[in-house]
Structure 1
């Protein structure tokens, strides 16, 4: 089929998939412990019923239809149905507090909202006095909704039934609106995480999503028999491109877990062939593995460490098809039988053909751990404004220190100041109601400023990202300051959940550390250390000793890099609370808001740059129900062991 004849919209791809893959599974969802499945033909019927229901409550062309909830087939269907009606789907983060939702719903002018359950409905009702454009609310889960005022609200199932009942009135209108869709029609509007200010509405067209899905699917040879697990926030561009864009292009199956609590069990049951996770997911899984190994018997522990040593040496080479001696291959095969295979099965990674990580830089050691098991984990570099893909790692060219080569159809260049620029068919249309930001980010020729600093390796053509351009600076003596580089090294240790490094224009670097409660709590239990709270455990002298050892190891590693040796951590503290999106310290995608933390904890930073050994602090926190409170603590300020720096080559 020629490129011209290909569908020009997501609803067009849906119709094509009904013809090509009508009887194959399109969506699965686990509910009440049982997997339910819908073929492409069945999904099409459900989506059309929702579209008819939306028409019955007055959805017009260009209306914004917000979708708030966890990953469920019906929520994806609602977004596609909105497109059928000529409306614009706007998915929101389900864990966002009411104030965050109010801004997005007001900014996009949402007239219709699809909520997952009572909790999301309550948030929308709570902000009703600030968001006055909302005309109708639909909800997926009926539990707890019986006594609500249903004058402008009903269940999504009832909305579908209402649409089907009136299909004679709405069918012709629906067909007309679908026929109007083309490559330049808006496909979705996604709001950025807002690390430096209010979130911006990124408008992505059908051209952006479909061309990107087509090119990236071709790159990794994705097809209708692949399986993905949809568990990341629907408001994030990655989930949209994987669970709608690529799913619609290739016809593969999208599987929705029952809940976040059952995610790992559901992952094992599905055994996806195509999998994406941000580094924090891989870090969390590795932490759990290491915790379990600490509790294992002597023989099992010995087998694990013995065969993992072999895997680190030859596993990635075998995965890339490089030459490995017969003895090493046989030894690896035995390890696969005894260790790697069972471990991959436990993680749910037995069938993975292509795996990706992105969003933040992943620790090299963590990355190599998974590849040594024979998991084809690769890195990509992308942005919401690029419809995800800017660079990808081709099979056989996977490394832990680069993000690959430009994705198909993408041009990348490095600016004079080291900033990375790109342009591609996936380049966003505009920031909604924000022409100034659009103009400052995308020039008239279509080049987009990423805000990241990087460079191409001349020998391989691979892109290396150093850090966020705004975060990269210089120490007082002129040496490079790249905080993310240090933070990722620190987060390799299972006991360290998060790290924030400061040092720009200073004589030396300092760090805030968040411990991982699961990993450190397990360690404390094994060592007979009693504690009653996160705060008490974080301040324990033995915990400080353990973290100090990790910081010293990281410093020795950094000292070996002449370019970044000035980034060694001289002093650190362990924070008395976890950094939290509800407190504004992180985005909903768990990116650190460095400027917020710098301002909020200015007293702690000043103390670390002084010579005091402790400091009393009060911190405002937000509880799950939205109430504000204060926690107090006296924090210990610890010195770190600094390694001798290697001399720069002449």
Structure 2
């Protein structure tokens, strides 16, 4: 491991604005942020960012914002979001990030619950969403927009451009040169700075209260395990409200001075990332799965020679990985070019977190030469607090704890499996306006219940199996983890999402969503006609294709954990429908309720299930879907009639 660089003292510079001020004074001319706009990379130095944050902060004072107010931010990952959040902290307010694709009702809930006073909105789309809520968000006094395109048609006194806000702030600074520094100096590390939304897998998300000092101290502990340098490049991909993006794009970047890059659009991510050649990336499991699927998709369109080279390279690479080494031949014929194509040539560290990543996907990237590490944590515990060490990566585990982090396993079974319970010095201070949930989350002496089932292996690595509430048993008392099996299914390039069922049932079953972009390409190549997602998923050839994939996964599972039945769902699971969280985690309760009739029919032995339903799109339009779902039997035990109760999936 490279020597750990000298970082600023975060007990002195204990807020984000104080660290920004320090870096701006010492490194004013150095580039910190880059953004791609209309194909051109635009750079922002530490000095430029500090000046704009100062003007935003003082501009907020002209709007009547004071210490303790809550300031919302919604939009894509942009430098203006980062600056706006630091400005919120500088004035003594609390920032609340809202996912850019959140629906109106979700936005209204968060804004009214937190009494948001001002919202930073990126563009017309987000402004329109806020204005349409009208009386549902009575606390919002001002909406500050960054992109003026399309805004002129609105006539609302709450609207003010970011340019105008900064102009007002600059005028205040000209009149009172010390105004900004006084605000920054008044901030303390123990002040609540961030209201961070939890995943909300079972209900509305809670708001974890995080202090600026805790964030920075925890980032400092993280950097001891995985150091960053001012020369390192990071590409900001995950949405800003997620705790891990707060850790990397804010805390770690301010401490280490690594450069933070913002891509032009999500669609240009891979091309933009290749131009930057990042030294570090953090992706959610869904992104890693999509990248692996896209690689396999491209191979479907390549020549027989290239497909042969790919298969040989993967075979050699995986064999070498299992033997604890790298294959020079595989690197020469495949991996070196593939890493360059993906923008991974300069990677020193790559992380995944937020949910479990399937072991097959993890092995794929390790064989490719991507320095993958799994991390584990929760919003309430300031994100990750375990990580693989550089030379000690085990894809079946989530690594070892950071320095100062304590982990224990409560109520372990004979195999040591129990609830993961954690504490450290930099935890959240509680849930905003929710003392009952705060009390429920804590055990004695500051230990926090994670709700996850796990154990420590012989090497001292933490192994996390699944959420305790999601661990399941069949009617034959055979225990299984739905998430583990789902991750194996999603390694297939043809599977976008899977929900494994079977708790209290005679056998396991699965609802599978095809990955439309890849299955449609496969269908076109094989001259299979189709019109829509629903039509394609019902084609016999597609069903046969997915049957082979499920059978392949079954061969890797213990007999009692194999999938006995499955069907291809007529639509994709969607966060807008409440079926997934905004971080793409399955809401099992919603799935069980919404598709309960289909699930019951599968277990009653029906071969074909009639569906006649209506789906509502984000723009409010509705579409009727009338189709038949084929239930594919892979050798399940004879069906057991349900007792009339719908069991949980």
- Give the TM-score normalised by structure 2: 0.94
SS in 2 for 1:476: coil
Per the alignment, residue 472 of structure 1 pairs with 471
| In 2: Cα distance, 1:176 partner to 1:541 partner | 69
SS in 2 for 1:239: helix
| In 1: Cα distance, 2:154 partner to 2:252 partner | 38
Residues 420-429 or 170-179, more deviating: 170-179
| In 2: Cα distance, 1:442 partner to 1:21 partner | 42
Report the alpha carbon displacement of residue 25 of structure 1 after superposing the two structures with TM. Answer: 1.3
| Residues 55, 170 of structure 1: 8 Å contact kept | no
Report the alpha carbon displacement of residue 314 of structure 1 after superposing the two structures with TM. Answer: 2.1
| Residues 612, 637 of structure 1: 8 Å contact kept | yes
2:126 is aligned with 1:120:
yes
2:85 is aligned with 1:75:
no
2:423 is aligned with 1:423:
yes
Equivalent of 2:99 in 93, 98, 114: 93
Per the alignment, residue 618 of structure 2 pairs with 624
| In 2: Cα distance, 1:170 partner to 1:119 partner | 36
| In 1: Cα distance, 2:623 partner to 2:429 partner | 42
| Residues 392, 403 of structure 1: 8 Å contact kept | yes
| In 2: Cα distance, 1:450 partner to 1:66 partner | 27
Q: Once the two structures are superposed, what CA deviation does each residue of 1:458-482 show, in whole Å capped at 9, x if it has no partner?
A: x200111111110012221222121
Q: For the structure 1 residues 2 and 525, does the alpha-carbon distance in structure 2 shift closer, same or farther, using more than 3 Å as the test?
A: closer
Per the alignment, residue 141 of structure 2 pairs with 135
SS in 2 for 1:432: coil
| In 2: Cα distance, 1:264 partner to 1:382 partner | 27
SS in 1 for 2:209: strand
SS in 1 for 2:611: strand
Report the alpha carbon displacement of residue 587 of structure 1 after superposing the two structures with TM. Answer: 0.8
Report the alpha carbon displacement of residue 89 of structure 1 after superposing the two structures with TM. Answer: 0.9
| Residues 573, 637 of structure 1: 8 Å contact kept | yes
Per the alignment, residue 382 of structure 2 pairs with 387
Equivalent of 1:582 in 558, 576, 580: 576
Residues 256-265 or 109-118, more deviating: 256-265
Report the alpha carbon displacement of residue 316 of structure 1 after superposing the two structures with TM. Answer: 7.3
| In 2: Cα distance, 1:632 partner to 1:238 partner | 41
2:414 is aligned with 1:408:
no
Equivalent of 1:160 in 158, 166, 175: 166
| In 2: Cα distance, 1:572 partner to 1:336 partner | 38
Q: Once the two structures are superposed, what CA deviation does each residue of 1:217-247 show, in whole Å capped at 9, x if it has no partner?
A: 1211212111111121111111111100111
Q: Once the two structures are superposed, what CA deviation does each residue of 1:164-207 show, in whole Å capped at 9, x if it has no partner?
A: 02224565443222112122111211111211011101111112
| In 2: Cα distance, 1:377 partner to 1:540 partner | 37
| Residues 91, 190 of structure 1: 8 Å contact kept | yes
| Residues 222, 385 of structure 2: 8 Å contact kept | no
| In 1: Cα distance, 2:291 partner to 2:606 partner | 37
Residues 18-27 or 212-221, more deviating: 18-27
Per the alignment, residue 525 of structure 2 pairs with 526
Residues 430-439 or 401-410, more deviating: 401-410
Per the alignment, residue 537 of structure 1 pairs with 536
Unmatched runs of 5 consecutive residues or more in structure 1: 560-564, 644-650
Equivalent of 2:69 in 49, 63, 78: 63
| In 1: Cα distance, 2:143 partner to 2:322 partner | 51
| In 2: Cα distance, 1:209 partner to 1:484 partner | 30
Residues 387-396 or 4-13, more deviating: 4-13
Residues 123-132 or 624-633, more deviating: 624-633
| Residues 89, 188 of structure 1: 8 Å contact kept | yes
SS in 2 for 1:86: coil
| Residues 209, 241 of structure 1: 8 Å contact kept | yes
Report the alpha carbon displacement of residue 451 of structure 1 after superposing the two structures with TM. Answer: 0.9
| In 2: Cα distance, 1:438 partner to 1:177 partner | 30
2:25 is aligned with 1:25:
no
Per the alignment, residue 433 of structure 2 pairs with 433
| In 1: Cα distance, 2:598 partner to 2:207 partner | 35
What is the alpha-carbon root mean square deviation over aligned residues?
1.7
Equivalent of 1:203 in 202, 206, 209: 209
Per the alignment, residue 562 of structure 1 pairs with none
Q: For the structure 1 residues 545 and 421, does the alpha-carbon distance in structure 2 shift closer, same or farther, using more than 3 Å as the test?
A: same
- Give the TM-score normalised by structure 1: 0.93
SS in 2 for 1:262: helix
Per the alignment, residue 397 of structure 1 pairs with 392
Per the alignment, residue 363 of structure 1 pairs with 358
Residues 164-173 or 524-533, more deviating: 164-173
Report the alpha carbon displacement of residue 583 of structure 1 after superposing the two structures with TM. Answer: 0.9
State the aligned residue count: 626
Q: Once the two structures are superposed, what CA deviation does each residue of 1:521-552 show, in whole Å capped at 9, x if it has no partner?
A: 11111211111111111011111111111222
Q: Once the two structures are superposed, what CA deviation does each residue of 1:289-327 show, in whole Å capped at 9, x if it has no partner?
A: 11111211122222222122111122576xxxx6x5xxx
Unmatched runs of 5 consecutive residues or more in structure 2: 1-6, 413-417, 638-649
| In 1: Cα distance, 2:18 partner to 2:314 partner | 48
Report the alpha carbon displacement of residue 394 of structure 1 after superposing the two structures with TM. Answer: 0.5
SS in 2 for 1:498: strand
| Residues 208, 427 of structure 1: 8 Å contact kept | yes
Report the alpha carbon displacement of residue 444 of structure 1 after superposing the two structures with TM. Answer: 5.0
Matches within 5 A, 1:317-356: 332-356=327-351
Per the alignment, residue 215 of structure 1 pairs with 221
| In 2: Cα distance, 1:558 partner to 1:231 partner | 34
